[in-house]
Amino acid sequence: MIQTDGLKQSVLEAGEGPLVLLIHGFPELAISWAAQIQALAAAGYRAVAPDMRGYGQTVSPERTEDYGVLSLVGDMVDLVRALGEETCVVVGHDFGAPVAWHCALTRPDMFRAVVGLSVPFQPRNAGGPPIAAMKAISERFKLGDLYIVTFQSIVAHSDFDLDPEAALRKCFWAYDGATSGKDRSTGFLPPGVPILQTISDAARRPPWMSADHFQPYVDAFTAGGFKRPFDWYRNIDRNWRDTAFLQGKTIDQPSLFIVGEKDPVRHYAGRHEAAQGDWLTDLRGQVLIDGAGHWIQQERADAVNATLIDFLRAVG
């Protein structure tokens, strides 16, 4: 537990050397980076993964508006300082990737390089808030409701809270590369149908997730619930309003993007992959891992570790 300016943050840490900060997404915890922490420590880096605001053992506020991206970036700035460091390389997965991209955008002096996993950099659209645009795209192409839109409801997390074990098992299974294509989620839902109801009750833990690895997730979300993790999504339009000052800004530090070939996120965010080079001016690579799904650092730990270490050694 580390006391920062804003929060008491729970972290996993190993190793000595240049700092690498690992930011998880939904519905994850610091333990999603366990394999990377071990590999990076062995390679001569100080690897630190926090339970992010709203997750796990980190002591977090209750108000929905306290989960905007600038607050999440501020937590990471505070954490770097509390660790006694001045700079680091920041790595983010899932919703942690937009946090990492915004760390790099807002504090290039501190975050000297950035890696995004699964979710590409998406520049701010001057045309208006994102949720309305997501709804319009879904309606235009008759795709159904994107789950991100359904998460805006203040009670959307209630289905998850009813049975955290089943909710987590379904999420990991439906976005995993080993799950059959017909059972893998696209992220788009029949109108009015909650996401958990679109995933088979026969969902099981992915092959890479042991019972011992799964149980801490179940324990954490049973204790803390899903309301605060959902609040990250409920701030998406607020994030758009709060980041007008970043309109048109590029990320000029060394950057890297890693994605699984079968990642369902590519159904709705994949179009941004091709344009990343316009916004990441020192993009060192876009790595596609064959057959991998969304939980890429856990599904394909060896491949992700090797790619990260090569990038870290290249940027010094």
Give burial (CB, 10 Å; 0-12/13-18/19+) of 155: exposed
Residue 294 appears among annotated catalytic residues: yes
- From the list 51, 75, 94, 231, the catalytic residue is 94
Smallest CA-to-CA distance from 308 within 114, 77, 31 is with: 114
Pairing of strands 88-93, 145-146: unpaired
Residue type, 54: G
Residue position matching structure tokens 């519905």: 27
Six-digit token string for 306 = 């090797």
**What three-state secondary structure class fits 9?**
strand
CA atoms within 13 A on the CB side of 69: 25
Residue 94 appears among annotated catalytic residues: yes
Six-digit token string for 285 = 């690579």
DSSP designation for 255: E
Q: How would you write 22-37 as a 3-class SS string?
A: EECCCCCCHHHHHHHH
Catalytic residue IDs? 94, 294
